[in-house]
Amino acid sequence: MSKHDEAKNQSQNHSQITSPITLALSKGRIFDETLPLLKAAGLEVLENPEHSRKLILPTNQRLVRVVLVRASDVPTYVEYGGADLGVTGLDTLIEHGGTGLYQPLDLQIAKCRMSVAVPEGFDYVGAVKQGSRLKVATKYMTIARDFFAQKGVHVDLVKLYGSMELAPLTGLADAIVDLVSSGNTLKANHLIEVEQIMPISSRLVINQAALKLKQSSLTFLLDAFTSAVNAKAKGLVS
C-alpha cells in the first residue's frame, strides 16, 4: 500500500469516528498483541507505555485515546464507563462476570490455557477417583470452583495472587489452577499439567450504554477489528 493510500485510509477512518472513544488496555502481552490489530484498524498509539509515565495515551486519531489499567480492572472500567471498550482475557472476563458488557469478538490473541497442575509424583487421578478432598491454590476462584463442581470433586480453594507454583512446593496446596503458556515455569518448579480446563484468548468488550450513545463510532471500530482479526487469520496481519 502506498503512502497516499495509507493517508487516504486514515482520513476515511477519521471521518467514521465522530464521538470521543476511550479504549482500555493492560500493559504486557495483551497490549503488544493488540497493536497490530489496532494498526490494521487504522489506529496507532503514539507513545510507548514502557517509556512513558502517562496512563492515558493519544492515538493518531484525535477522538480516540488509550487508557492503561491493570489487566483485572479492564472489564470494570468498561462496565462502569471509564472506557467505552477494552481488550481483556477470557479468564479475567469470567472472573468479573461480564455484567454490563457486550462481548462481540474473540480477538484470537494472547492465547494460552487454564489448567490444573500438581507436583511431580502426586497421584492426582487416584486422589480424584477416591473422592479425596483436594486443596487447590488459584486466583481464578470462579473458574476453579465451577470446574471441580462439574467433576464432582471436593476442593478447598486457597486464593493467591502470584507465584502460584509455590503453593504445592510449600505444602499450602495439593494442586494449582493457573494460566499455562509454554509450560516452562511449571517444569522448572517440578510441577506437571494434569488437566486442561479451557483455552484462553483475549476478547473485545464494549460498554452497552456507550454502544447506544456512540453507536456509529463503536460499530465502525467493531467492524474494523473484525476485519483485522479475519485478515490475521488469513496471514495478512502479522
Q: Residue 7's pLDDT band (boundaries 50, 70, 90)? A: very low
Residue-wise pLDDT for 107-157, tens only, equals: 999 999 999 999 999 999 999 988 889 999 999 999 999 999 999 999 999
Distance CA 8, CA 5 (A): 5
Question: Between 164 and 6, where is the model more confident?
Answer: 164
The amino acid at residue 219 is T
Q: Is a pLDDT exceeding 90 seen at residue 166? A: yes
How large is the average pLDDT for residues 81-89? Answer: 98
Q: Is a pLDDT exceeding 60 seen at residue 6? A: no
Tell me which residue of 236, 234, 233 sits closest to 109, measured CA to CA.
233
Burial (Cβ within 10 Å: 0-12, 13-18, ≥19) of residue 55:
exposed
Distance CA 191, CA 40 (A): 40
| b/e sequence 38-54, b meaning 16+ C-beta within 10 Å | bebbbbebeeebeeeee
How large is the average pLDDT for residues 4-8? Answer: 46
How large is the average pLDDT for residues 165-194? Answer: 96
Residue-wise pLDDT for 25-54, tens only, equals: 999 999 999 999 999 889 999 998 888 889
Structural domains of the chain, with CATH: 3-110+201-233 (3.40.190.10), 112-200 (3.40.190.10)
How large is the average pLDDT for residues 160-188? Answer: 95
Q: What's the whole-model pTM score? A: 0.89
For residue 99, which phi and psi values (nearest 5 degrees)?
-60, 130
Share of the chain above pLDDT 90, in %: 82
